Amino acid sequence: MRNLQTANLDVAFATAFATLVGGTFLIGFIQYAGGSDRWIQLAVALPSLMGLFQIPGAIWGRRFNGYKRFVAPGGWVWRLLYIPLFALPLVPWPGQERLIVLAFCIALATAANQLVSPIYNDWIAELVPAESRGWYFSRRTAVSTAVGMGVAFIGGVMLDQLQKKNMSGTGFSILFAAGSVCAMVSMFFFLRMKDTERANPIQAGLKDSLKLMVRPAGDRNFQRVLVFTVVFMVSATLAGGLYVAFARESLQLSYTAIQLTQVAHAIGTVAFANMWGYLADKYGNKPLLAILMIGATITPFVWLVCRPGQPEFSTIVLVIGHLFNGLVWSGIAVCQMNLYIATAKTEDRANYLGMVFAVQAFTGAIAPLIGGEMMHFFRGTMPVENAYKSIFVAVMLVRVVSFLTLLPVREEGSTELRETFGHLRKVNTQGIRALRKLTRTGDPVQRAEAIAEVGSAQMALASAELLKALSDPSPLVRRHAARALGRLDDPAAAAALTQFVTNNRELVEEETLEALGDMAATGASQAVTSFLNDPRSPMRRQAAKTLGRLGEVHSLGALEAAASDPTDPDLRRAAIQALRLLSARDSTPFIGKALQDPAPSVRSAAAEAVSELGLVELADEVRAALQVYADSYSSELAYALGCVGSREDLPALLQSAAKAASSTTRRRCLLGIAKMLGVEQQFYRLLGQTGLSRDQELVALLKPAYQKSKKLREAVQVYSLGDEKEAVALLVKSHLAPELGFAAEHFVPEMFLVLALAYAQHG
DSSP string of 114-139, one letter each residue: HHHHHHHHHHHHHHS-GGGHHHHHHH
Write out pLDDT tens, residues 422-469. 777 766 666 666 666 776 667 788 888 878 877 777 776 677 778 888
Q: What share of the chain is helix, strand, coil (3-state, %, to 5)?
A: 80, 0, 20
The domains of the chain, with CATH numbers, are 2-193+205-422 (1.20.1250.20), 426-516 (1.25.10.10), 523-638 (1.25.10.10)
The SS3 assignment for 670 reads helix
Closest CA to 31 of 83, 87, 89: 89
Cα→Cα distances 510→385, 499, 516, 534, 562, Å = 67, 16, 10, 11, 17
Ramachandran sector of residue 568 (left: φ over 0; alpha: ψ -120 to 50; beta: rest): beta
Q: 107-143: string of b/e by CB count within 10 Å (b at 16+)? A: bbbbbbbbbbbbbbbbbbbeebeeeebbbbbbbbbbb
The 8-class DSSP code of residue 615 comes to -
| Apex 521 CA angle, 517 and 523, nearest 5 | 120
Q: Is 403 helix (H, G, I), strand (E, B) or coil?
A: helix
Got the DSSP string for 291-341? HHHHHHHHTTHHHHH--TT-HHHHHHHHHHHHHHHHHHHHHHHHHHHHHHH
Asked if 280 and 133 touch (Cβ cutoff 8 Å), the reply is yes
Are 622 and 716 contacting, i.e. CB atoms less than 8 angstroms apart? no
Nearest Cα neighbor of 756 from 695, 668, 665, 691 is 695
How far apart are alpha carbons 47 and 106 in whole angstroms?
7
409 phi and psi angles, rounded to 5 deg: -65, 135
Positions in the chain short of pLDDT 50: 206
Contact indicator for 728, 713 with CB cutoff of 8 Å: no
194 DSSP 8-state letter: P
Instruction: Collect contacts of 682-686 with beta carbons under 8 A, ≥24 apart.
Output: 682/757, 682/761, 683/753, 683/754, 683/757, 686/753, 686/757
Residues 423-439 as b/e (b if ≥16 CB within 10 A, e otherwise) read: bbeebeeebbebbebbe
Question: Tell me, what's the pLDDT at 597?
Answer: 92
Position 210 scores a pLDDT of 56
pLDDT at 558: 92
CA distance 410 to 344: 11
Distance of alpha carbon 647 from alpha carbon 639, whole angstroms: 13
CA distance 99 to 449: 62
CA–CA separation, 347 vs 333, rounded Å?
Answer: 24
Distance from C-alpha of 114 to C-alpha of 325, rounded to nearest angstrom:
27
d(CA 527, CA 318): 56
Residues in the chain: 763
Look at residue 206 in the predicted model and tell me its pLDDT.
46
For residues 760 and 686, what is the distance between their CA atoms, to the nearest angstrom?
15
| Residues 261/316, Cβ–Cβ less than 8 Å | no
What are the backbone angles phi and psi of residue 219, rounded to the nearest 5°? -80, 115
CB atoms within 10 A of CB 310: 13
Cα separations (Å) of 616 from 483, 517, 586, 604, 612?
Answer: 38, 30, 13, 17, 11
Please give the span between the terminal C-alpha atoms of the chain, in angstroms, as a whole number.
Answer: 87
Angle between helices 417-425 and 255-283 (to 10 degrees): 110
Q: What is the structure's pLDDT at 200? A: 66
